[in-house]
């Protein structure tokens, strides 16, 4: 299992399921079968960073977009470890 914390969420991956536990609101859970990729994106100046979870297109799903999660500069190493682990699991499927 790999996880990291942001200001408002705990994001984890257990080898099959990506979970985003929010301080407020609903938690989100996605099986990697429905995930195309995960990545850390940055603004043009490289000052702001976000975790982006890209879902596969699924016409029968009502989930179209997942809000990007802000990642602080201090948590980028943990977020990158998360991304690497998820991508390894996706590529091995």
Tens digit of each residue's pLDDT (9 = 90 or more) over 1-15 = 999 998 889 999 999
Q: In the prediction, which pLDDT does 57 show?
A: 80
For the domain that residue 40 is a member of, what is the CATH number?
2.30.29.210
Q: In the prediction, which pLDDT does 3 show?
A: 95
The predicted-structure confidence for 31-83, as pLDDT tens digits, reads as follows 999 999 999 999 999 889 999 999 888 756 666 567 888 999 999 999 999 99
Q: In the prediction, which pLDDT does 63 show?
A: 61
Task: Please name which of 86, 93, 91 lies closest in space to residue 12, comparing C-alpha atoms.
Answer: 86
User: Between the CA of residue 18 and those of 45, 48, 50, 61, 93, what are the distances in Å?
Assistant: 29, 23, 16, 17, 15
Q: In the prediction, which pLDDT does 7 show?
A: 83
Whole-model pTM? Answer: 0.88
Q: Which residue range(s) make up the domain with 49?
A: 2-91
Asked if residue 86 lies in contact with residue 18, where contact means CB atoms within 8 angstroms, the answer is yes
How many domains does one find in the chain? Answer: 1
Asked if residue 86 lies in contact with residue 67, where contact means CB atoms within 8 angstroms, the answer is no
């Amino acid at each position: 299992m790999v996880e990291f914390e942001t200001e408002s969420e705990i994001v984890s991956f257990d080898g099959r399921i990506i979970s985003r536990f929010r301080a407020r609101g609903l938690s989100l859970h996605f099986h990697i079968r429905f995930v195309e990729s995960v990545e850390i994106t940055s603004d043009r100046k490289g000052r702001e960073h976000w975790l982006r979870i890209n879902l596969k297109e699924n016409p029968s799903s009502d989930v179209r977009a997942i809000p990007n999660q802000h990642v602080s500069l201090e948590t980028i190493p943990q977020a990158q470890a998360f991304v690497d682990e998820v991508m390894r699991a996706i590529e091995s499927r």
